[in-house]
Amino acid sequence: MAQTAATGEHSLNIQGIRTYHCTRGAGKPLLFLHPGIGIDLAAPALDLLSERVALHVPSHPGYGKSELPKWMSTVDDLAYFYLDYLDALDLRDVILVGASLGGWIAAEIAVKSTERISHLVLAGAGGIKISDREHRDFVDVFNVSHAELEALTYHNQKFASGALTSQSEQALATMFRNRESTGLFAWSPYMHNPALRRRLHRIKVPTLLLWGANDRIVSPDYGRAYASDIPGATFATIADSGHYPHIEQPAAFAQQIFAFVDSAKRLKKEV
């Protein structure tokens, strides 16, 4: 079902939570769930995606300008929030795309309900534990300096934001709010839900695990293990990209998503 998204950033009330989101484009709806660093609404990836879809990009509760209710403290809470978001906007046949923390949220949504979802894309997603208790699957982003973290995050350092002293006051306020919220939702247990891996078999829609080939925050092998637990899921990498391929390789990111969606449609017709 083709839908049209009104361009611009808007606020709306989702079950009493004031939420800011950006909408643009027309066509099949695509819901993009951003990583813990938040989202730049001027990002080229968003423009490229909106050329073919009705794009919806909300700021999670506690991120950007969106409110954070006192009772909300887990990724599970965020997943239920987004089920309410889909209901409130009456979005159907949705391509659900999540990056990093957003990918974890997307996976938690999909194990609960895929009634409104047609395709799932998890890009550099967190959410499961594949190593033993003595080893982290994710770099401890709270235990390295800003400069070290950016060096690990990006394959091409031109995408790094630079020294904190070079940032505007507003940019720093947003950065620290996003970081604080990521700590709330993902610190303990770190970047995963111990129950999620056992629930991945419940995902019944075509699923793509999409990884930066040079990801040093969470390795492509983690993505491959993730894919192996989701029935029929496929795994792909994007060359010359670190943890955020939607930032470093936006054209390849959008192309991979649309190729996957088109291929999954063809397979469905063949069946």
pLDDT digits (tens, 9 = 90+) for 166-222: 888 998 999 999 999 999 999 999 999 999 999 999 999 999 999 999 999 999 999
Selection from 107, 14, 23 nearest residue 68 by Cα:
14
Where are the strands (E) in 165-225, listed by range? Answer: 207-212
Bridge partners, 17 (sequence order): 14
Checking if the pLDDT of 5 tops 70, the result is no
Q: Taking the complete model, does pTM exceed 0.85, yes or no?
A: yes
Question: Could you tell me what percent of the chain has a pLDDT over 70?
Answer: 95
Is beta strand 8-14 parallel, antiparallel or unpaired with respect to 26-33? unpaired
Q: Which residue has the higher pLDDT, 43 or 167?
A: 43
pLDDT attached to residue 82: 98
pLDDT attached to residue 271: 52
pLDDT attached to residue 267: 63
* 7: confidence class by pLDDT, cuts 50, 70, 90: low
CATH topology assigned to domain 3-270: Rossmann fold (3.40.50)
